[in-house]
Amino acid sequence: MSTRLAKQGRLIDRSKKVTFTFNGTSMQGYEGDTLASALLANDQMMVGRSFKYHRPRGVVASGAEEPNALVGLGQGNRFEPNQRATTTELFNGLTAISQNHWPSLEHDIGAVNTAFARFLPAGFYYKTFIHPKPFWKHVYEPFIRQSAGLGKAPDKDSRDADTYEHFYAFTDVLVIGGGVAGLQAAKAAAASGAKVLLIEQSAYWGGRAPVDGGTVNDEPVDKFVEQLVSELETMDNVSMRSRCMGAGVYDHGYVLGYERLTDHTPGVQGPRHRLWRIRAKQIVTATGAIERPLSFAGNDVPGVMLASAMRDYAVNWGVNPGERVIVATNNDDAYRTAITLKQAGVDVLRIVDARATAGPLAEEARQLGIRVDPGKAIAKVKGGKRVKKVAICNQEGVGGAREEVEADAVAMSGGWSPVVHMWSHCGGKLTWDDANAFFRPDPSRPPLGANGEGFVLAAGASNGALVLGDVLTDAHAVGKAAAKAAGFKPKNIKAPVGETTAEAPMEAVWLMPANAEIQLRMKSWLDFQNDVKVSDVQLAAREGYESVEHTKRYTTLGMATDQGKLSNINGLAILADALESEIPKVGTTTFRPPYTPISMGAIGGEARGEVFQPIRQTPMHNWHDRNGADWEPVGHWRRTYAYVRPGESVHDAVNREVKNTRDNLGLLDASTLGKLIVKGPDAGKFLDIMYTNMMSTLIVGKCRYGLMCSENGFLIDDGVVARIDKDTWLCHTTTGGAERIHGHMEEWLQTEWWDWKVYVANVTEQYAQVAVVGPNARKVLEKLNAQAGGGMDLSKEALPFMEWRDGKIGEFDARAYRISFSGELSYEIAVPASQGQAFWDALFEAGQEFGVMPYGTECLHILRAEKGFIMIGDETDGTVIPQDLGLHWALSKKKEDYLGKRAHSRSHMADPERWKLVGLETVDGSVLPDGAYAVGEGVNANGQRNMIGRVTSTYFSANLGKGIAMGLIKHGPDRMGEIVEFPGTDGKTYKAKIVDPIFFDKDGEKQNV
Amino acid sequence: MLILNCPYCGVDAEETELAAGGEAHLKRFGPGSSDDEFHDYLFMRENPKGVHFERWRHANGCGKWFHAARCTNTLEVFGTYTAQTSEPPQDIKDAIAAKRPGWTWREFS
Amino acid sequence: MSEPISALNHASYDGIANVRECGLQGMITLRGDLSDKSLAKAVKDATGQNVPGQREALVSGDTGVCWMSPDELLVLVPYAEVETKLAAMVKALGKTHTLAVNVSDARAVFTISGASAREVLGKVAPVDLSSEAFQPGQIRRSRLAQVAGAFWMDDAETFRVVCFRSAADYVFKLLKVAAQPGSEVGVY
């Protein structure tokens, strides 16, 4: 059983007990524990079940590479699945549940899968769920959905209770990883004066060096780490962040850092995670190396662990993972685990070394009384929920002549792989190191930055240096090189001298025993999280999946949340062997960020809840909100769709507003319409190019409706242009168009006609603009003038249709435009935004006797549709030209050029077959479905009915008491009176008559009073 | 995520401050041009693996359009320059030649 | 004339920094040739300041001038004086090709003040705000999370942040999140 050792545990504080629960059982650990170390200390060997076969699984690693110990953490709004127990710091009240089992961890029905494992090989799903076809929907898909997904998704009603944020950081040198290599590299770089940011994923500095031991400058390595950390902490040009993982390296020195602020202290004020968005001139990856498992049968039984992890648990957390331990290895490093455990009083039964001859550490082990068996292998680990027996055989051969030993834990080491993720994310290339059987960064092919030079350097173990002395020499040199590449002059200080222990070479062992028979290979796990075995990869190779990327997807090797940190190289080696190729020729799969999963909250940062997206507000926004506004998003603006009164439906409200505006008086908040000032000696010439109409001839004091096309000829915007003075025009745009059209004008001014003397300014938000509409419009304004002595003459004669005036209306400085988008008597009045609410209030109060009501955008739409006015975005969709909408009158024939003019003479634009705007009236007065297509005679090449047009706008008109619509119909204007069919998505076919698009007041008498 | 130096305000701006504006140095064809000329102006764009010239706008910044010469393969930036020119300035061409001898792009080299 | 009201009417929040809407600020967008003498005189008359160089902010309290682009300045004057100053400026500029327009009501202005002010802004703007990189006297136009904004420093611990009026509510809420208690970064 696994227990707490009497001594040891450099990271725990035995005076501080911590209580937590696992699957409802209360357990105790110490401050400084990880959830994994505390579970092991409580003899919780089995921590979950595997994804596919539901096999019992235990903790296998001690850090970010852990594939098995994934738990659901927290409760309610703080529940989160798939959290690694090995990187979860223990705190009082932590609650964890294990995953992938039903009804319980101990008794699981899905484990039956393991009995059928031989019938569930790689590609099983692809092969099985194809036939018979009808089975997919009702049998296969529900079954797969039931079993899919790792862990349990949070309850649908729960909401993340925490806050998150981003932070933009800038540094000369970023060092990723706070082990001895990272610390030394940071020091060497910082000595030059360069600004250094050092980030470390765990809560402590020094990495695994204090566990592995050794000396630096003749002092114990943990002393060296302590001194180095305090030295760096005093340097002004160094920032250090623990619990901050380098998640990804991207173009031009961009790095994401994932800082976990309160995961270990839930409830403490402040954000939970912070996503660091770092720009670094140079990046040093000092991300260490990860030990590889050995592939032998039963290597997934709880109690089988990486040798280094077992050493970590003993030294860091004082946890003894078993009482009778067997060590299996192909290298010298695992001997350190045997020696450490033995010295801590654990019974280490023997070291099974696949190599024919063991190295110098074997002698030390033997002297401690540990039996060393060279040339041996583990044939099979026996046991279900924990290790019971280990069968030992010769490494050469198929695994016969086994000797069985009773044991409860196995430490395995298949060698080490440098963590090359950060090097590789942005294109750094790797080279195969045959002596150590690993890929390491190829310094001649680094990722390239903005200046075309490399911007990432690897240091220490992540650069392939595994011995302490080499690690420090390398890291020191790399730190200096990084400072130099960042433009600083490195100081010529000496590298610390780390101890260099003699080690015998490792020997690549990809399978134990070397020619293991199929029964063993079917139980030799490569990917613990996705349940991929040696036999699966071999099968994939036999079935023709020769590319490593294909094999990965076929077998799902390395596709789990750990992204193959343990399985990658082992799987690759099996594939290379099966293909009778070499590992470097087969190559690796792509390393993609993030290094380990990061929270969605951190990615979103502050953008949640009420700051998820900007909501633009007019000066009268709060009034609308208080008065029943049913909001409609228009770009980032919120506009009132309708003002709904108590007891009314939205539809009722719209109908009331439509009738009232035509009969009495309506107020519309039109502040969102874009307003661009265009000024300069060449402004008229410029606007003649921007608009299809002639704007240079507009008389001061007058307004003109204008159309804008793109160079392709398609309509992009419309609006009323007013000439303010000789050099100045004010152009209204659509609500969504202000920034876009401003940018469009600037683009042409800056990049094509930069010699033209024109300046543009966007003054959209300087004004609150109110449309005062209806037969009583003039009365209410004149009442304001009468009340407060405003001087503006608003009579028909003084301010005729399509003209504007500046002056005082009531007590307000105002600009009044006599324009109408409703066909009613209408004034659009602009006042300074800071007085918008006061002006609105004044109108509303004065308007009471005239039947005033505010109206929203739906009423606006219906009023304009009754008049046959087009709306950008309804009648246009980026493929519509003015000619389609019968707007030939707005296309100047006098002008030599305007944007879109040349395009309008292209053959397709001049095609008489183009769909043209018409009005549509259903035969029975009902409302046509929006977007419905009109069908004509015959079918197309695909057997579908030919389409001859579509509905672009459709409404119920309360004024006319029936549905009205506009649409684009082939030869439409020539087919007045004809009935066209529109199949709806509801199965019905709607019949509508083609009519004139002007449904109301055809002669425009109402607006001209 | 790219960084480009805005030649107008001198800021090293990251991509989130910028808006991409497609290929640089297009020659406008308007009324009077042939169908082929106009078609090419509207639709035909370079898509090189290597040296490329692009338009960018410092949208969340000074609002100005500028040009960038960069490598679409390695993302190396050879230089940025004003939009008020119909061809890359000589110092930009030289900077490219130093890194990519023998480069050509449309009529430039 | 009724009392003019700024977008958030002096809303304020105290977290790791104080965030405050400043109320109405007179602002004039001035576009023109920045080397032109009459433009320089108009700016001097209105603000007492010289024409600022690239990314310079020559501001004292509610009066001053900021560099916005090679052909644009933001002229700051007390709100009550903006119409008079604008008229004087237009007159002084005469026939010179320029555009001067009152944009006071189109904007909202905030201050972020306190020892953590740099960090609060550093959470929403992709800009190096370390004291080596950004100091009083400089202006930066950038984005504040998802909207455009500009900022300069009144003093070593106070930023003045300008955004569009319609985005004031968003920016205030955004800065409140960025300034929430317990969110000190500890780098500036």
Mean pLDDT of chain A: 94
CATH 3.50.50.60 at A164-289+418-485, yes or no: yes
Nearest-by-Cβ selection for B28 from A254, A448, A752: A752
User: In the 3-class helix/strand/coil scheme, how is A332-362 assigned residue by residue?
Assistant: CHHHHHHHHHHHCCCEEEEEEECCCCCCCHH
Question: Using one digit for the tens of pLDDT, what is the confidence trace for A180-219?
Answer: 999 999 999 999 999 999 999 999 999 999 999 999 999 9
Among all residues of chain B, which has the CA nearest to that of A448? B74
* Complex-level ipTM beyond the 0.90 threshold: yes
- Is C98 part of any domain? yes
Q: What are the residues facing A274 on neighbouring strands?
A: A165, A259
Longest Cα–Cα distance of chain B, Å, equals 42
Which residue of A270, A677, A835 is in closest CB contact with C4?
A835
Q: Which of C102, C127, C177 sits opposite A163 (nearest CB)?
A: C177
Whole-number Å distance between alpha carbons of A312 and A62 = 7
CA–CA gap between residue A476 and residue A488 (Å, rounded): 15
Share of chain C above pLDDT 90, in %: 97
Which of C126, C141, C143 minimises the CB distance to B62? C141
- Taking contacts as CB-CB distances below 8 angstroms, the residues of chain C near A838 are 2-3, 5
pTM of the shown model: 0.95
**CA C180, CA A262: separation in Å to the nearest integer?**
14
Give the distance, in angstroms, between the CA of residue C80 and the centroid of all CA atoms in the same chain. 17
A429, A896, A902: best mutation site toward chain B, by most B Cβ within 10 Å? A902
Confidence of residue A1007 (pLDDT cuts 50, 70, 90): confident
Contact C141 B8 (CB under 8 A): no
The enclosing domain of C68 has a CATH number of 3.30.1360.120
Delineate the domains of chain B, giving CATH numbers in brackets.
3-99 (3.30.2270.10)
Asked whether residue C158 is assigned to any structural domain, the reply reads yes
Does the pLDDT value for residue A904 go beyond 80? yes
Residue A294: which residues within 8 A CB-CB, separation 6 or more?
A328, A329, A330, A354, A378, A412, A413, A414, A509, A512
Question: How far apart, in Å, are the Cα atoms of A403 and each of A348, A352, A379, A408, C25?
Answer: 17, 12, 9, 16, 87
Instruction: Name the residue range of residue C168's domain.
Output: 12-178
> Domain A621-671+769-864 belongs to what topology?
Gyrase A; domain 2 (3.30.1360)
What residues in B contact A906, CB-CB < 8 Å? 35, 38
Where along chain A do its domains lie? 3-112, 164-289+418-485, 621-671+769-864, 674-765, 912-1007
Structure confidence by residue, pLDDT tens digits, A574-631: 999 999 999 999 988 899 999 999 999 999 999 999 999 999 999 999 999 999 999 9
Of the two residues A6 and A393, the one the predictor is more confident about is A393
C150 Cβ contact partners less than 8 Å away, ≥ 6 residues apart: C66, C68, C74, C139, C140, C141, C142, C161, C162, C163
Residue A912: is the preceding peptide bond cis (ω within 30°)?
Answer: no
In contact, A634 and A642? CB cutoff 8 Å: no
Q: In chain B, how many H helices and how many E strands?
A: 2, 6
Q: Give the pLDDT confidence score for residue A146 in this predicted structure.
A: 67
Alpha-carbon dihedral angle through residues A55, A60, A65, A70, given to the nearest 10 degrees: 50
Put simply, the chain B residues between 40 and 69 with a CB less than 8 A from any chain A CB are 42, 55, 57, 59, 63-65
Supply the pLDDT for residue C1. Answer: 59
Q: b vs e for A778-802, b when ≥16 Cβ sit within 10 Å of the residue's Cβ? A: bbbbbbbbeebebebebeeeebeeb
**What span, in angstroms and rounded, lies between the C-alpha atoms of A253 and A261?**
24
Task: Kindly report the three-state secondary structure assignment for every residue of C119-144.
Answer: HHHHCCCCCCCCCCCCCCCEEEEEEE
Query: CA gyration radius for chain C?
Result: 17
Say if the Cβ atoms of A902 and B63 lie within 8 Å. Answer: no
Domain made up of A3-112: CATH architecture: Roll (3.10)
C49 in a structural domain: yes
Residues of chain A positioned with their CB less than 8 A from the CB of C101: 677, 761, 763, 766
pLDDT at position A491: 94
Do the domain assignments include residue C5?
A: no
Tens digit of pLDDT for each residue in A424-447? 999 999 999 999 999 999 999 999
**A951-974 mean pLDDT:** 96
Mean pLDDT, range A107-123, rounded to an integer? 70
Asked whether residue C7 is domain-assigned, the answer is no
How far A176 CA sits from the closest chain B CA (Å)?
19
A650 CB-near residues (< 8 Å, 6+ apart) = A630, A641, A642, A644
Return the partners of chain C (3 or more C-beta pairs < 8 Å): A, B
Name chain B contacts of C70, Cβ cutoff 8 Å.
8-9, 62, 64
pLDDT at A47 over 80: yes
Q: How far apart are CA C73 and CA A251, in angstroms?
A: 34
Distance CA A868, CA A1003 (A): 12
Residue of C nearest to B64 (CA): C69
Among C54, C69, C72, C74, the strongest candidate for a mutation testing the B interface, having the largest count of B CBs within 10 A, is: C69
Write the class of the CATH domain A674-765: alpha beta
Contact A743 B99 (CB under 8 A): no
Q: What are phi and psi of A220, to 5 degrees?
A: -60, 145
- What b/e sequence results for A575-614 when a residue is b if at least 16 CB atoms lie within 10 Å of its CB, and e otherwise? bbbbbeeebeebbbbebebbbbebbebbbebbbbeebeeb
Cβ distance of A616 and C122 shorter than 8 Å: no
**DSSP single-letter state for residue A140:** I
Is the pLDDT reported for residue A130 higher than 80? Answer: no
CA distance to partner chain A, nearest, from residue C96 (Å): 10
Which residue in B has a C-alpha nearest to residue A896's C-alpha? B31
d(CA C72, CA A420): 48
Taking only the tens place, the pLDDT of each residue in C141-172 is 999 999 999 999 999 999 999 999 999 999 99
Query: For residue A154, what pLDDT is reported?
Result: 86
pLDDT value at residue A131? 73
- State the total domains in chain C: 1
Give yes or no for C5 touching A (CB within 8 A): yes
Cβ separation C5–A637 shorter than 8 A: no
Q: From the CA of B84, how many Å to the nearest CA of chain A?
A: 6
Q: Return the structure tokens found at A279.
A: 């720009």
Per cent of chain A over pLDDT 70 is 98
Mean pLDDT of A250-271: 95
In a domain, C168, yes or no: yes
Instruction: Give the nearest chain C residue to A672 (CA atoms).
Output: C166
Chain B residues in contact with A252 (beta carbon < 8 A):
1-3, 75
B8 part of contact set with chain A, CB < 8 Å: no
Q: Is residue C43 part of a domain?
A: yes
3-class DSSP assignment, residue A647: coil
Which pLDDT band, with edges at 50, 70 and 90, does A789 fall under?
Answer: confident
So what's the pLDDT on residue A649? 98
Residues of A in contact with B54 (CB under 8 A): none
> Could you tell me if residue C75 is inside a domain?
yes
pLDDT at A100: 81
Average the pLDDT over B97-106 and give the result. 97
**Which single residue is written with the structure tokens 């007990």?**
A17
CATH code for A912-1007? 2.40.30.110
Residues of chain C with Cβ-Cβ distance to B9 below 8 Å are: 54-55, 69-70, 141
